[in-house]
């Protein structure tokens, strides 16, 4: 099972040198996501797994934390050091952190 990280701890670690994977669907992602988050929807996660780093922690986020935990567990089973972010994007927004809106998923 993948580890979890609190939003307070994640906010302290977020920056240019971390990998964040947003597993929500496209409409959710473009409505607002963590800056720098990679779009890899749960419904089509498999093609994205090969591109994720194996030598660093990958932070996985969704709306509230349930999908991210399931996808982080899947990633751990594939040899990725994945950690699920408790509270998801809603907690990020509620913590007053910036979001990127309206961009096409990358």
Domain ranges in the chain? 3-94
Residue among 79, 82, 51, 52 at smallest CA distance from 67:
82
| Percent with pLDDT over 70 in the chain | 97
- Give me the active site residues, please: 62
Task: State the pLDDT at residue 43.
Answer: 97
3-94 CATH, one of 3.40.250.10, 3.40.50.10860, 1.20.58.1030, 1.10.3720.10 = 3.40.250.10
pLDDT in tens, 65-106: 999 999 999 999 999 999 999 999 999 999 999 999 977 675
Average pLDDT over residues 37-63: 97
Residues in the chain: 106
């Amino acid at each position: 099972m993948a580890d979890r990280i609190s939003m307070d701890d994640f906010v302290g670690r977020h920056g240019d040198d971390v990998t964040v994977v947003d597993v929500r669907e496209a409409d959710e992602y473009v409505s607002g996501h963590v800056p720098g988050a990679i779009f890899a929807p749960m419904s089509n996660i498999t093609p994205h797994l090969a591109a994720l780093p194996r030598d660093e922690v990958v932070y996985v986020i969704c709306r509230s934390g349930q999908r991210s935990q399931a996808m982080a567990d899947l990633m751990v089973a594939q040899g990725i050091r994945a950690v699920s972010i408790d509270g998801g994007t809603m907690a990020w927004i509620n913590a007053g952190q910036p979001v990127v809106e309206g961009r096409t998923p990358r």
